[in-house]
């Protein structure tokens, strides 16, 4: 699922619903259906068009008072619905998030399970922004979103510290060996400016909680700055991983009533000699408090030093959430 506007909207709805449900000790149920039509064209290659499920989910949240000033909470979010194709869908088929934890104003929040990692939450604002297209702003970090123990501190004058460790034991069927990859992050907010720095040790490799081969065991480091001035927001990010790549990203968004417009740029300089750049744009309209539509377009170029390939993509989508 693209964790973009829908993620923020669902979080707000889920929090509000959970607060009301707490009074009767009932969980809050939320969900969304996301559809998109995607057209892609590779210069000198093939073109394709597809109607797709862009990440429809169904979730449950709940919280309750464990002790004065301490709240216990849980979240379970399922995806893989395949809402675009009844014949091919087996219903809900995969897990997006599942965790339990406790939080308090005096000590912050600690939670265990599968969730967005601290590195992703601090740095990956640009890549997680887009609804249907990619961003071309990542170098890659291997520690996935499962088997995590995470902590986020209270705000100390605008400074929030957080960390995560992934516990992979020798009884884990994915690895059969022990490893404890970790992440550290710090976010500082003052007035309209937010700064973030984070690292991922990448000690576990992709096989622990995702698919695909691991690249190497070098750390990934990331920096991000976001400046919000009224309806205008500007974000820049930089990520680096030794013997892999450096990646830069820029994103500007402007809100005008029920409409939002965005323009982004991503550049990846791989140590292999390949360079990739993307220019992305979005126009989004909120039809109501529960539904929005959007158009996204992208122009991309990949130069390997031997070949130089241009590609384009266009997506039209709609999302309904409750």
Give CA–CA dist 56/275, Å, rounded: 33
Q: What is the pLDDT of residues 218-254, one digit of tens each?
A: 999 999 999 999 999 999 999 999 999 999 999 999 9
Average of pLDDT values for 126-150? 89
DSSP string across 110-135: EEEEE---HHHHHHTTTTTT-SSS--
Nearest to 125 by CA among 27, 12, 266: 266
Tell me: pLDDT of 12 over 80.
Answer: no
How many domains does the chain divide into?
1
pLDDT band at 174 (very low <50, low <70, confident <90, very high): low
DSSP string across 200-222: E---S-GGGTS-S----S--EEE
The partner residues of 65 in beta bridges, in order of sequence, read: 71
pTM, two decimal places: 0.88
Q: What is the pLDDT of residues 295-312, one digit of tens each?
A: 999 999 999 999 999 999
Q: Are 71 and 47 a contacting pair, CB within 8 Å?
A: no
Instruction: Give the CATH number of the domain where residue 167 resides.
Output: 2.40.160.10
Q: What is the pLDDT of residues 29-46, one digit of tens each?
A: 999 999 999 999 999 888
Q: What is the pLDDT of residues 243-282, one digit of tens each?
A: 999 999 999 999 999 999 999 999 999 999 999 999 999 9
Structural domain containing residue 186: 5-321
Helix (H, G, I), strand (E, B), or coil: what is residue 295? strand
Helix (H, G, I), strand (E, B), or coil: what is residue 19? helix
């Amino acid at each position: 699922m693209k964790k973009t506007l829908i993620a923020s909207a669902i979080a707000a709805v889920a929090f509000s619903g959970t607060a009301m449900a707490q009074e009767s000790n009932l969980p809050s149920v939320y969900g969304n259906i996301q559809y998109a039509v995607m057209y892609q064209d590779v210069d000198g290659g093939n073109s394709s068009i597809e109607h797709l499920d862009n990440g429809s989910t169904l979730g449950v949240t709940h919280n309750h008072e464990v002790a004065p000033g301490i709240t216990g909470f849980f979240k379970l979010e399922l995806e893989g619905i395949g809402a675009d194709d009844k014949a091919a869908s087996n219903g809900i088929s995969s897990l997006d998030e599942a965790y339990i934890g406790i939080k308090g104003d005096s000590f912050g929040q600690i939670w265990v399970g599968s969730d967005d990692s601290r590195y992703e939450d601090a740095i990956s604002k640009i890549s997680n922004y887009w609804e249907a297209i990619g961003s071309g702003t990542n170098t890659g970090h291997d520690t996935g979103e499962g088997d995590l123990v995470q902590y986020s501190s209270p705000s100390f004058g605008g400074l929030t510290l957080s960390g995560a460790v992934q516990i992979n034991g020798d009884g884990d069927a994915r690895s059969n060996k022990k490893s404890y990859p970790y992440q550290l992050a710090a976010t500082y907010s003052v007035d309209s400016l937010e700064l973030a720095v984070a690292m991922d040790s990448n000690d576990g490799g992709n096989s622990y909680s995702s698919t695909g081969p691991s690249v190497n065991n070098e750390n990934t480091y990331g920096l991000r700055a976001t400046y919000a001035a009224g309806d205008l927001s500007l974000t820049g990010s930089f990520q680096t991983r030794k013997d892999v790549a450096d990646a830069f990203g820029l994103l500007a968004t402007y809100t005008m009533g029920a409409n939002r417009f965005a323009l982004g740029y991503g550049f990846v300089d791989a140590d292999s000699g390949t360079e990739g750049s993307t220019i992305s744009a979005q126009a989004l309209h909120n039809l109501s408090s529960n539904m929005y539509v959007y158009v996204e377009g992208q122009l991309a170029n990949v130069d390997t030093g031997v070949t130089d390939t241009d590609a384009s993509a266009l997506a039209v989508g709609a999302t309904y959430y409750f």
